[in-house]
Structure 1
Amino acid sequence: MERRLWARRAVCPSMTTLTADAFTTSADGTRIAYDLTGPVPGLAPAVVVVDGVLAHRLAVTRAVAAELDRRVTTLRYDRRGRGASGDTPPYSVDREVDDIAALLEVTGPAALVGISTGVFLALRAAADLGAAVTAVLCYEPTYDVASGEPPVDPRMIAGVEACLEAGDPGSAVEVFLDVMGMPCGLVPRMRASPSWADLEAIAPTIAYDGRVLAGVALGHRALMCRWEQITQSVLVVDGTASAAAVTAAADSLAAALPEALRVTLPGHGTDVPPAALAEAVTGLLRRAGVP
Structure 2
Amino acid sequence: MTTTTVDALTTSADGTRIAFDLTGPGRGLAPAVVVVDGVLAHRMPVTLAVASVLGDRVTTLRYDRRGRGGSGDTRPYSVDREVDDIAALLEVTGPAALVGISTGGFLALRAAADLGSCVTGVLCYEPGYDVAGGEPPADPRMIAGVEACVEAGDPGSAVELFLDVVGMPCALVPRMRASASWPDLEAMAATIAYDGRVLAAVALGRRALMGRWDGIDQPVVVAHGAASAAQVAASARSLAAVLPAARRVTLPGHGTDVPPEAMAEAVAGLLGISP
Task: Name the TM-score, length of structure 1 as normaliser.
Answer: 0.92
Larger radius of gyration: 1
Which residue of 116, 119, 138 maps to 1:133? Answer: 119
* Alignment-mate amino acid for residue 108 of structure 1: G
Aligned to 1:25: 11
Q: Deviations over 1:229-275 (max 9, x none)?
A: 1010000001211111110100000000000011112x321110101
Give structure 1 regions of 4+ aligned residues with deviation exceeding 3 angstroms.
Answer: 14-17
Asked if 1 retains the 8 angstrom alpha-carbon contact of 2:3 and 2:51, the reply is no
TM-aligned CA deviation for residue 15 of structure 1: 7.7
Identity in percent: 78
Which residue of 151, 158, 161 maps to 1:165? Answer: 151
Asked if 1 retains the 8 angstrom alpha-carbon contact of 2:2 and 2:52, the reply is no
CA distance in 1, matches of 2:71, 2:44: 15
SS in 2 for 1:193: coil
Q: Does 1:83 align with 2:69?
A: yes
What pairs with 1:168-179 in structure 2 (closer than 5 Å)? 168-179=154-165
Aligned to 2:250: 264
Aligned to 2:174: 188
CA distance in 2, matches of 1:268, 1:190: 22
CA distance in 2, matches of 1:165, 1:38: 41
CA distance in 2, matches of 1:49, 1:63: 12
TM-aligned CA deviation for residue 206 of structure 1: 0.1
* Alignment-mate amino acid for residue 239 of structure 1: G
Q: Deviations over 1:112-157 (max 9, x none)?
A: 0000000000000000000000000010011000000000000000
Asked if 1 retains the 8 angstrom alpha-carbon contact of 2:65 and 2:82, the reply is yes
Asked if 2 retains the 8 angstrom alpha-carbon contact of 1:15 and 1:40, the reply is no
CA distance in 2, matches of 1:62, 1:16: 9
Asked if 1 retains the 8 angstrom alpha-carbon contact of 2:49 and 2:260, the reply is yes
TM-aligned CA deviation for residue 40 of structure 1: 1.9
* Alignment-mate amino acid for residue 96 of structure 1: E
SS in 2 for 1:138: strand
SS in 2 for 1:75: strand
Q: How many residues align?
A: 273
CA distance in 2, matches of 1:28, 1:188: 39
